[in-house]
Structure 1
Amino acid sequence: MPVLMPEPEGTQLGRATTYAEAYSPELLQPIARSLGRDAIGDHDFQGTDVWRLYEFSWLNARGLPQAAQVELHVPASTPSIIESKSLKLYAMSFAMTRLAGGAAEAESILTRDLSAAAGGPVKAAVHPLGTWKTLVEPMPGDLLEAMCPDVEVEDFEVNPELLRRTEGGPRTAAVCWSTNVFRSLCPVTGQPDFASISLHLAGEPVDPASLLKYLASYRRHRGFHEQCVEQIFHDLRTRFDLKVLEVQASFTRRGGIDINPFRSTVSAEPHRVPRELRQ
């Protein structure tokens, strides 16, 4: 049966946009994580959502515009995510705001406001573009679609029954696999969301072709990025005896923001957050 995430009410998604002329923290809109987790039937998740904002600017004390990249770490333990368009509108409200304290002051304000909206401690880092360094790289892991080029896909709404154990193989295995063909849909607008996903699995062996078919079955699924990753994590955890399970997704940018959820049985924070080739 498809897992349906209810459409959140009252969001800014799909609405005409008016940008604020002054700093406006009231624009931030929390959405309860329970909305997606109730649909999955699982609330036990460890990990972090890493948000990266590539369009962030303010004025210095003399009115000269400043430009920076922002990275946010939102623990999966927070009761709420922040609706992405509301985050964009909030970030844009800094554009005509004078901050005499520069990046450090912006970082302090972001940490305070986003922690309040998420209901728990959010880490914010503001990197002025003159000093920001980043590495663009593919997601780690052997590419499933290269390993299984002849797989036939017929299910395009989430179907965990596709998942299979490797037959005739080892009793346990440790693998790192990835895919670049993941797509889901926004639960409000129906717009497509594309991502690359990396999976680290150790324990009962999962058949790679069945995993690829399962991941492809999200193509018509309507869910926020975090809910999709938690659904993948839940389905693998409940169907296989895994000592290590990590699911990390790098979604392509929308509105100057990319979202990178990470869920794990062994760590609350990802070892690293790749800036994937399409980001």
Structure 2
Amino acid sequence: METYQNAKSLSNLTLGKTTEYCSEYNPKLLQAVPRSLNRDDLSLTNNKLPFVGEDVWYGYELSWLNNQGKPVVAVAEFRFACTSPNLVESKSFKLYLNSFNQSKFASFDEVQQRLSHDLSATAGAQAQVSLYPVDHCPALAINSMAPDTQCIDHEDIRVDNYQYQAQILGNAQKTGTDKVVEQKLVSHLLKSNCLITNQPDWASVYISYKGVAINHKVLLQYLISFRQHNEFHEQCVERIFCDLQKYCQLDELTVFARYTRRGGLDINPFRSTHLDTAPQARTLRQ
């Protein structure tokens, strides 16, 4: 993992450095991080990924001026395909959104078009952008994903190691049965740390699968092992997906993490064997 933590493409990022805030529109603030950095570590290539999916971001601090100088505020939804060459570095994303604050735009549509153009150029693939009034954003209605989702956080386990351990999943299917089941699980105990700044990232992770039953205690121990792990949100979710497939060889798998916001943005990576689009399901912590 040190290979991509020290990659040259990360050395020029504003993340982890003191920066001046710009309040005049400036798309040059956006910075890209190649997805290949952690995918090389997982032996993945963009033309042969074991999953489909997307990264869904929500921006809660977007504002600009109309042609008369009056402030406008909105909530933004951003969707990036997991096949895009780059992910958008989050601090640069925040600085970029902040640059709209004192710039004049004629309409919601103009702002949406600017956002779509700039973010697509950074990601290297088309980004989908939707803007909502702050009192009407259906995508952010609190939703528990599904009424039949089972929380595994009540499992009575002993934990004494908080370093990432994929091999824990080697015991995940030792349940005494080979029966194929379908389960929808959630844990609110996922915590990882930013790859660059070491700041904590908190999430609820939803795992839906079809296959031989997974031991909930083992799965929870595995998820808790990310507690001192340093990696970007998207990378953690892809690692969880790949580990579950490696050790459990599931017929179907979906991993969806809802991270709490920082700096007015939350990031919600969604990876699946068969579903392209993330559901709309904000958690209470978001």
Contact 1:47 1:269 in 2 (8 A): yes
Contact 1:156 1:219 in 2 (8 A): yes
Q: Which runs of 5+ in 2 are unaligned?
A: none
Matched with 2:267 is 259
Q: Name the CA distance, whole Å, in 1 between partners of 2:189 and 2:227.
A: 9
Distance change >3 Å, CA 173–CA 4, structure 1 → 2: farther
Q: Where does residue 6 of structure 1 map in the other structure? A: 5
Which moves more between the two structures, 47-56 or 5-14?
Answer: 5-14
Count of aligned residue pairs for this structure pair: 274
CA–CA separation in structure 1 for the residues paired with 2:53 and 2:100: 29
- What's the offset of the Cα at 1:12? 1.3
Give 1:103 shift.
Answer: 1.0
Cα deviation, residue 41, structure 1: 2.2
Distance 1:39 1:17 in 2: 30
Residue aligned with 2:251, SS: strand
Does the 8 Å contact 1:56/1:91 carry over to 2? Answer: yes
**Aligned partners of 1:139 and 1:196 also within 8 Å:** no
Which of the numbers 257, 260, 270 marks the counterpart of 1:249?
A: 257
Aligned partners of 2:57, 2:173: CA distance in 1, in Å?
34
Question: Cα distance, 1:155 vs. partner?
Answer: 2.7
Structure 2 partner of 1:78:
84
Structure 2 matches for 1:85-234, cutoff 5 A? 85-100=91-106, 102-133=107-138, 134-140=140-146, 141-146=149-154, 148=155, 150-163=156-169, 164-234=172-242
Deviation at 1:245, TM superposition (A): 0.2
Runs of 4+ aligned structure 1 residues displaced above 4 Å come to 2-5
What TM-score results when the alignment is normalised by the length of structure 2? 0.92
Aligned counterpart, 1:49 = 55
Distance 2:164 2:131 in 1: 37
**CA distance in 2: counterparts of 1:38 and 1:12, whole angstroms:** 23
User: Percent sequence identity over matched residues?
Assistant: 37
Once the two structures are superposed, what CA deviation does each residue of 1:188-230 show, in whole Å capped at 9, x if it has no partner? 0111111000000101221111100000000111000000000
Give the TM-score taking structure 1 as reference length: 0.94
Q: What do you get for the CA RMSD once the two structures are aligned?
A: 1.6
User: Structure 1: which 5+ runs fail to align?
Assistant: none
Paired AA for residue 246 in structure 1: T
Residues 1:40 and 2:47 aligned together: no
Give the structure 2 partner of residue 275 of structure 1: 282
CA distance in 1, matches of 2:183, 2:21: 46
| Whole-angstrom distance in 1 between the partners of 2:165 and 2:78 | 32
Q: Which amino acid aligns with 2:90?
A: S
Q: Mean alpha-carbon deviation: is it higher for 47-56 or for 199-208?
A: 199-208
**DSSP 3-state at the match of 1:242:** coil
Alpha-carbon shift at residue 15 of structure 1 (Å): 1.7
